[in-house]
Amino acid sequence: MTDPSYKGQFVCFTHPHIGNVGVNDDDEESEKCHLGAIIVRDVSIVVSNYRSVMSLDEYCKKHNVLGLCNLDTRALTKVLRETGCLNGVICTDASKSDEELVAMTKNWTIVGKDLLSVVSCKEPYEWKDPTGEEWEFNEGAKTAAGGKAFKVVAYDFGIKHNILRRLASFGCSITVVPADYPADKVLALNPDGVFFSNGPGDPSAAPYAVDNARAILGKKPVFGICMGHQILGQAFGGKTFKLKFGHHGGNHPIRYNPTGRVEISAQNHNFAVDPDTLPEGVEVTHINLNDGTCAGMLYPAKKAMTIQYHPEASPGPHDADICFEQFVDMMKAEVSAPVAA
């Protein structure tokens, strides 16, 4: 609910019973809920978890989030699995006719809408907090950087807090900058690496982000997650397209081509990079095993790596946490062998 990449979307849960563990402040991935609406079959009236501070119902009311319950979400899922993702409208104004409501949905499209500037921070800020001691699952994270504190500038396209925490756990100190922060100002900060975050909407709707990425490529090691992967894909010279079925939730198998290792991943995206449009020198390193789409890239000549899904999880499995270490390794290698500008 608090992942800014979901800005404006309706999320329908297939699990019939939602909300039994309540809501806590520590798991928030940004300052607020970004969903257009949450749709569940049965919202739990009993909340039982030691971290819970309020029920899902109370949370929705407090944050003015539209919630629908008692809807047959499995029936809706059966429709969506045929049609793919659909536009929807939820309305409490009984004076609107069905025709008017249908026209509203038909006249709306996610394609071409720049939502990055809507959810991004407005001013740069620093982030230092790693994953809390009691939740750290990767003993190697602390020592991965070999005692060096790598300075990372992170583009905020709607960044999730846990990405910042994982980078900090791997020894990075991070300056988060707005989505349209000029590339020359980023380079003037002289970071060890530049990170491109997750974010909502159509990656083709933010050409300024692609231009900045292009201007940074080859000058600093870069890492992109989700929207960052798509923006970098375009900066490499590739194209993105809207999937019929987006990938959502915490159980998607990914193959890492260099080793054949399969990891289970958390995902949230509706667009993808078309691998056929990528220039020579860009390797597709990760494949989504459900539909064969491109899930990660490496551009060795530019010291650029990208992941279409969520290695930071939160929530979700930790299998892909190794990506943060690979980014740190790229920055380490850069200290001894700088990339050619």
Ligand X SMILES: NC(=O)CC[C@H](N)C(=O)O
Catalytic residue annotation: 226, 310, 312
User: How would you class 25 by CB atoms within 10 Å of its CB: exposed for 0-12, middle for 13-18, buried for 19 or more?
Assistant: exposed
Q: Which is nearer to ligand X, 169 or 198 (CB)?
A: 198
Interface pattern 213-242 for ligand X (x via CB under 6 A): -------------xx---------------
H/E stretch holding 330: helix 322-336
Sign of the alpha-carbon torsion through 34, 37, 39, 44: positive
Count the site residues for ligand X by CB under 6 A: 11
Shortest distance in whole angstroms from residue 199 CB to ligand X: 5
Residue 55 in the binding site for ligand X (CB under 6 A): no
Shortest distance in whole angstroms from residue 270 CB to ligand X: 4
Across the chain, how many H-helices and E-strands are there? 10, 15
Residue 5 in the binding site for ligand X (CB under 6 A): yes
Q: What is the C-alpha separation between 336 and 87, in angstroms, rounded?
A: 50
Near ligand X by CB under 6 A, which window of 69-77, 79-87, 269-277, 318-326?
269-277
Strands 261-274 and 239-256, bridge-based pairing: antiparallel
Shortest distance in whole angstroms from residue 165 CB to ligand X: 17
Distances (CA, A) of 192 to 117, 166, 185, 189, 328: 25, 16, 14, 9, 9
Place of tokens 């809207």: 242
Q: Which is nearer to ligand X, 248 or 332 (CB)?
A: 248
Near ligand X by CB under 6 A, which window of 72-80, 176-184, 266-274, 315-323?
266-274
Residue 285 in the binding site for ligand X (CB under 6 A): no
Q: Is 325 helix (H, G, I), strand (E, B) or coil?
A: helix
Residue 119 in the binding site for ligand X (CB under 6 A): no
Interface pattern 184-213 for ligand X (x via CB under 6 A): --------------xxxx------------
Which tokens belong to 74?
A: 């499995």
Distances (CA, A) of 242 to 83, 111, 222, 237: 14, 8, 24, 17
Residue 254 in the binding site for ligand X (CB under 6 A): no
Q: Which residue is nearest to ligand X (CB)?
A: 226
- Which residues are near ligand X by CB under 6 A? 5, 198-201, 226-227, 268-271
